[in-house]
């Protein structure tokens, strides 16, 4: 069993693999630990897989898992966790935005008696305003509406011990939101701060669409606040409607002022219709995730691997 496993999801990172391998090897060897790298190729369309396999043929520390298609970052990390054997496990991006050198600090912090040490972003270089802004707002909103204490400005770059990985393997949900699941597990968790670097090369694999789905997974997995919002707005609208009805009856029978009320009817119908649609949509988000879990499909399909 190696002292440390490094789990590395890879999606179109051909320009980063060698550099990453070099910097990781450097730091881990300085730390004098036995180690393995678990590269998970998440359906890359470039040459990433061949580069990883090439490295694996010369470096016996390399394990790789090749997915049959793109299953998404969180699933790739999950597959890595399922197949790694180390006493400590690190999750790290392959684009060098997470500096490998920080692993030394995280490892020694863990040795002070923590099960998880996550890396908190003090700053983020090379990312546009919209990404930074939406991330900032999202992490704070999520922290407000969950009962689990999910740390803000924290990605998946972290180190954890085997105990945590074993619990994660027992969490069967299809929508993985590891940065929430890991705090949910508990034990002693702490963080170190770092400045997030720019991508070494290549482009982000997280489109806005993927980010939005990821955010919805995080919210629906850890909070029922949207459902409560649906209920509350239902009550609020019913209350307003009730007053409106009283007024309508009053106007019709007491003051006998019943000019054709087209405007008010339209407003009422549209308003209530809108609220209903929002509420049904919110419920739908939860139901779609429930049905994905009931189908209970395997989370990923492996084409090829050298993990025994």
Query: Which residue bears the tokens 């994905």?
Result: 292
Q: Nearest Cα to 248, choosing from 233, 263, 232?
A: 263
Window of 30-38, 70-78, 160-168, 218-226 that interacts with ligand UDP by CB under 6 A: 70-78
- Least separation in angstroms between CB 230 and ligand UDP: 30
Q: What is the rounded CA–CA span in Å between residue 86 and residue 215?
A: 30
Number of neighbouring beta carbons within 10 Å of residue 92 = 26
When binding is defined by CB under 6 A, the residue of 4, 6, 10, 164 that contacts ligand UDP is 10
By CB under 6 A, residue 78 contacts ligand UDP: no
By CB under 6 A, residue 49 contacts ligand UDP: no
By CB under 6 A, residue 67 contacts ligand UDP: no
By CB under 6 A, residue 42 contacts ligand UDP: yes
- Least separation in angstroms between CB 106 and ligand UDP: 18
Q: What is the DSSP letter of 90?
A: E
Q: How far is CA 175 from CA 40, 50, 72, 78, 216, in A?
A: 18, 29, 11, 11, 10
The SS3 call for residue 78 is helix
Residue 154: contacted member of Mg ion, ligand UDP, none (CB under 5 to 8 Å, by partner type): none
**Cβ–Cβ under 8 Å, residues 190 and 147:** no
Lookup: tokens for 256: 């006998």
When binding is defined by CB under 6 A, the residue of 78, 97, 175, 189 that contacts ligand UDP is 97
By CB under 6 A, residue 178 contacts ligand UDP: no
- What does the binding site for ligand UDP look like in residue numbers (CB under 6 A)? 9-11, 13, 42, 70, 72-73, 76, 93-95, 97, 204-206
- What does the binding site for Mg ion look like in residue numbers (CB under 5 A)? 93, 95, 97
């Amino acid at each position: 069993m190696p002292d440390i496993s490094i789990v590395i999801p890879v999606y179109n990172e051909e320009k980063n693999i060698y550099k990453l391998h070099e910097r990781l090897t450097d730091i881990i060897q300085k730390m004098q630990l036995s180690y393995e790298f678990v590269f998970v190729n998440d359906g890359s369309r470039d040459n990433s897989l061949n580069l990883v396999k090439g490295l694996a043929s010369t470096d016996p520390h390399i394990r790789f898992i090749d997915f049959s298609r793109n299953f998404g970052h969180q699933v790739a990390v999950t597959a890595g966790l399922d197949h790694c054997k180390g006493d400590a496990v690190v999750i790290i991006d392959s684009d060098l935005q997470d500096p490998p050198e920080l692993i030394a600090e995280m490892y020694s912090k863990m040795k002070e008696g923590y099960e998880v040490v996550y890396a908190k972003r003090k700053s983020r270089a090379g990312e546009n305003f919209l990404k930074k802004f939406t991330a900032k707002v999202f992490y704070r909103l999520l922290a407000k509406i969950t009962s689990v204490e999910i740390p803000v400005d924290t990605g998946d770059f972290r180190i954890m011990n085997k105990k945590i990985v074993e619990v994660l393997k027992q969490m069967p949900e299809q929508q993985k939101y590891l940065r929430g699941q890991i705090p949910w597990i508990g034990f002693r968790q702490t963080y170190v701060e770092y400045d997030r670097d720019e991508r070494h090369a290549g482009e982000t694999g997280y489109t806005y669409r993927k980010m939005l789905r990821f955010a919805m997974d995080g919210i629906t997995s850890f909070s029922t606040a949207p459902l409560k919002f649906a209920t509350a707005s239902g009550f609020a609208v019913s209350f307003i409607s009730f007053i409106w009805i009283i007024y309508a009856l009053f106007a019709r029978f007491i003051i006998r002022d019943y000019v054709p009320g087209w405007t008010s009817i339209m407003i009422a119908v549209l308003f209530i219709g809108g609220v209903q649609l929002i509420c049904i949509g919110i419920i739908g988000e939860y139901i779609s995730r429930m049905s994905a879990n009931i189908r209970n499909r395997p989370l990923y399909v492996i084409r090829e691997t050298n993990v025994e």
